[in-house]
């Protein structure tokens, strides 16, 4: 697969992080003499939140002269996550990036995302966060005018984003995120789709 090395790199990085965390967990704080607790994805209590968000997407793709182009769509993401520690987590989810129109046809994209999440707690229930990972993206172009590329392209692409979670209480939070998903359309142009979303998150 053309971008299998990207996925492999992300996977190896996450595995190395997971392998290193137990070692850090052995370090006791000088003031409390308590070890920092780290959890792994296969342990009870790791997966502790889920969320849904929707918003506006913007396709980065060239508009062909003579055709009406619409680079804006509506996206949706559904995800679940867990934390190795307060500052580092893992998130997986499904994304639908909506539809744009280029070259007289429709361009759609969706995929499965896996990301490392780096968090900075703000107060008791809120945080600022950043994501870095990869998406198995499917980009499909249909109904274009003669002479334009149609078809479907799939593969692993880099993704990333930033955002905030505003905690309403222990269980519920409102989220605002900006994410960028790199995709490759059937025309072989490597482009991206940005998504600005708002949603809700439940923590259990």
Beta bridge pairs of residue 47: 82
- Contacts by residues 20-28 (CB-CB < 8 Å, ≥ 24 positions apart): 21/84, 21/85
Residue 97 lies in a domain: yes
User: Does residue 160 lie in a domain region?
Assistant: yes
What is the total count of domains within the chain?
A: 1
Asked whether residue 29 is domain-assigned, the answer is no
Q: Which of 139, 54, 75, 56 is nearest to 105 (CA)?
A: 139
The answer as to whether 81 is a domain residue is yes
Helix (H, G, I), strand (E, B) or coil at 171: coil
Q: Which segment of 20-34, 136-150, 162-176 scores lowest on mean pLDDT?
A: 20-34
Dist CA 71 CA 152 (whole Å): 18
- Work out the pLDDT band at 11, boundaries 50, 70, 90: very low
> Which range marks the domain in which residue 174 is found?
39-203
In a domain, 17, yes or no: no
Give the CATH number for residue 126. 2.40.160.20
> What average pLDDT does this structure show over 3-21?
44
Q: Give the global pTM.
A: 0.78
pLDDT digits (tens, 9 = 90+) for 167-204: 999 999 999 999 999 998 876 567 899 999 999 999 99
Cα angle value 136/11/57 (rounded, 5°):
35
Predicted pLDDT at 196 = 98
Mean pLDDT of 77-103: 93
CB-based contact 109:155 (threshold 8 Å): no
Region 144-159: mean pLDDT is 80
Residue 126: per-residue pLDDT: 97
Q: Is residue 30 situated within a structural domain? A: no
* 201 or 42: which leads in pLDDT: 201
Domain contains 115: yes
């Amino acid at each position: 697969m053309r971008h299998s090395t990207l996925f492999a790199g992300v996977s190896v990085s996450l595995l190395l992080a997971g392998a290193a965390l137990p070692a850090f967990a052995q370090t006791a704080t000088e003031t409390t003499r308590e070890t920092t607790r780290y959890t792994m994805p296969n342990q009870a209590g790791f997966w502790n939140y889920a969320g849904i968000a929707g918003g506006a997407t913007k396709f980065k793709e060239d508009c062909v002269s003579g055709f009406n182009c619409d680079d804006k769509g509506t996206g949706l993401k559904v995800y679940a996550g867990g934390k190795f520690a307060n500052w580092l987590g893992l998130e997986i989810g499904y994304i639908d990036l909506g539809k744009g129109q280029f070259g007289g046809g429709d361009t759609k994209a969706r995929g499965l995302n896996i990301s490392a999440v780096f968090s900075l707690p703000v107060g008791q229930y809120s945080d600022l966060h950043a994501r870095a990972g990869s998406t198995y993206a499917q980009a499909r172009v249909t109904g274009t005018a003669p002479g334009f590329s149609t078809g479907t392209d799939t593969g692993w692409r880099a993704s990333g984003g930033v955002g905030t979670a505003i905690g309403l209480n222990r269980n519920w939070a409102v989220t605002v995120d900006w994410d960028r998903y790199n995709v490759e359309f059937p025309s072989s142009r490597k482009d991206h789709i940005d998504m600005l979303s708002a949603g809700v998150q439940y923590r259990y």
